[in-house]
Amino acid sequence: MNEVDRKRERRRQAALERLGTNDPRCTICGEDDWRCSERHHVAGRRFDEFIVIVCRNCHRKQSDSQRDHARTANKPPNQMDCIGHFLLGLADLFELLIKKLREFGEALIAQA
Mind listing the pLDDT tens digit for each residue in 31-60? 999 999 999 999 999 999 999 999 999 999
Cis, bond preceding 76 (omega within 30 deg of 0): yes
Burial of 22: CB neighbours in 10 Å, binned 0-12, 13-18, 19+: exposed
Question: Against a cut of 0.85, is the pTM above it?
Answer: no
- Cα–Cα distance, 47 to 98 (Å, whole number): 25
**Whole-number Å distance between alpha carbons of 108 and 72:** 43
Band (1; pLDDT cuts 50, 70, 90)? confident
